[in-house]
Structure 1
Amino acid sequence: MPRNDKQNEGIRKQRIAQIMEAALDVFAHKGYHTATIADIAKKANIAKGLIYNYFESKEDLLYKLVMHGMNDLIEKFDANHDGVLTDEEMELFINDMFQKIVEKRNYWKLYFSVMLQPDVFDFNFYNKFEEQYQAMVKALIDYFKRKGFENPEMEYLLLHTMSDGIVINFIMNENFPLEGIKNEIIKRYIHNNSQKNKKPC
C-alpha cells in the first residue's frame, strides 16, 4: 500500500534529523574540514547519495545544522509572533532557553565544538546567520529601548555574548550555577528599574 503525503513528510523529517545528528557527531570528532559526506553517510547508516536529496553540500548541511540548533533554542521567543516582546514573553524565552541548555547539554557540547573550529563560522556564514534573525534582533533592541536602557544595541550584543558564554561554561562544568545566572538575567532585563540604566541628567 503506497504511503500518503503525511507519512512521506514524517519519513522526510526523520531522515533529516538522522543525517543532522550524524553530521554533528562527525563534525565534532573528525573536524568540519576533514569530515566528508561519505563519513556522515556511514555514521547515519545510509547511502551517500541519499544525503544529497536533503542537502546541497557539506556547507549547506552545516548551515542548516546551525539554524536547527538556534531555532530550537529560541523556539519560545516572542510567543505570539507579533514582533513586540513583552516582559512575560521575555521571561518565558529566558526560562525555556535555560531549560533546553540543561536538557541537551551533550548536544550543545558537540555543537560548540564544531562552531569553535577554525574557519567554520566565517564572515559569510555570520552574515547569513544575522540575516536569518533580523526580526529577533530588532524585537530585542526595541524591548531594551522600552525598558530604558541607554544603549539598546549594545545591550543586545551583551545578551548575545552572555548566552554563548553561559552555554560554553555549562558544557565544561555541569555544576556551573545556571539557575543563579538565569535569575540575574531575569532581574536585569525584566524586573529592572529603567532609571538605573540611564545616565543622570
Structure 2
Amino acid sequence: MHYAEKELLIFKAFKDILYSDSDITKITVSEIAKKAGIGKGTVYEYFESKEEIIAKSLVYNFYEEVNIFSSKIDENLTFKENCYILFDFLTNRVIAISPYFQLLSSNLKIKELCNYLKNDSILDNLKNDLDYVTSKIISIGITEGIIKKNDNKDYQKFVIRSACSGIANSICENKSTDLEICKSYAYEFIKRALK
C-alpha cells in the first residue's frame, strides 16, 4: 500500500502522541497536526476525522511491525525458536496496542472502525503477510517432523492462531500470569494438536 508522505507523518505523529504521557482520550487533530509538522487543514485533506486517523494508524503501524517481524522468521532456526519469535511478537503487540483500543473504546464504535477500513487494501496485505509467516513456520515444523505433512493446511494455521489467541487472552485478562509459562503452554498445544 502506498501512502503519501504527509499521511505517514500523521501516522507517526499519532503513534508518538499515543505512547507519550498525555491523556489519550483528549488527543485532538490539532495536536496530531502540530506533532506531524503540518497544518490542521492538511490533515483533513487526507482524513475525514480523528477516528479515521486512529483506525488507519492502528492498522498501518501493525502492518509495518508485521513486516519487521516476518523478516525474523528464519529457516535456519528451529520450529520452536520460530514459534517463540511469533509469541514474543504477539506479546509485544498486544501490550503495545492496548492504548489504541483504550482510545477506540472511548471514542469510536466498532462499526465505525470497520467502515473506515473496509475499502483499505492494507487489511488484505496484512492477512496475506500473516498467512505467509504462519505457513513458513508450519513448513519448518513439517521439515523437523513435528507437524504431520498431510494435515489440512487451514487446520494447521487454525491451531497456530488458536495458540496465539490463548496468549493474547492471558494478557488481556490482566492476570498476573507468567508470560513465559503461557508461551510454553501455547507451544505444547501446537505440538500436540499437529502431531
Distance 1:24 1:66 in 2: 16
Structure richer in helix, relative to its length:
2
Which of structure 1's runs of 4+ aligned residues deviate more than 6 A? 11-14, 23-26
Is 1:51–2:39 an aligned residue pair? Answer: no
Match of 1:170 in 2: 171
TM-score (norm 1): 0.57
Highest relative contact order (Cα 8 Å, sep 6+), 1 or 2?
A: 2
Is 1:17–2:5 an aligned residue pair? Answer: no
Unaligned runs of 5+ in 2: none
Deviations 1:69-93 (A, max 9, x none): 35336632342688x9962433323
Is 1:62–2:55 an aligned residue pair? Answer: yes
CA gap 1:179/1:86 in 2 versus in 1, 3 angstroms: closer
Within the candidate set 118, 127, 130, 1:124 is matched to 118
TM-score (norm 2): 0.58
Aligned length: 170
Deviations 1:135-181 (A, max 9, x none): 43034135436322733313423433553563354244151332211
Match of 1:197 in 2: 194
In the TM superposition, residue 134 of structure 1 has moved relative to its aligned partner by 0.9
CA gap 1:153/1:142 in 2 versus in 1, 3 angstroms: farther
Instruction: Please say if residues 170 and 177 of structure 2, whose CA atoms lie closer than 8 Å, have aligned partners that are also in contact.
Output: yes
Is 1:42–2:30 an aligned residue pair? Answer: yes
CA gap 1:57/1:154 in 2 versus in 1, 3 angstroms: farther
* Percentage of pairs with the same residue: 13
CA gap 1:14/1:136 in 2 versus in 1, 3 angstroms: same
2:194 alignment partner AA: N
Deviations 1:4-30 (A, max 9, x none): xxxxx9x9976642234447999x737
Instruction: Please say if residues 19 and 44 of structure 1, whose CA atoms lie closer than 8 Å, have aligned partners that are also in contact.
Output: yes
CA gap 1:78/1:164 in 2 versus in 1, 3 angstroms: same
RMSD: 4.5
Within the candidate set 110, 127, 137, 2:99 is matched to 110
Unaligned runs of 5+ in 1: 1-8, 31-38
Distance 1:179 1:77 in 2: 21
Distance 1:45 1:96 in 2: 30
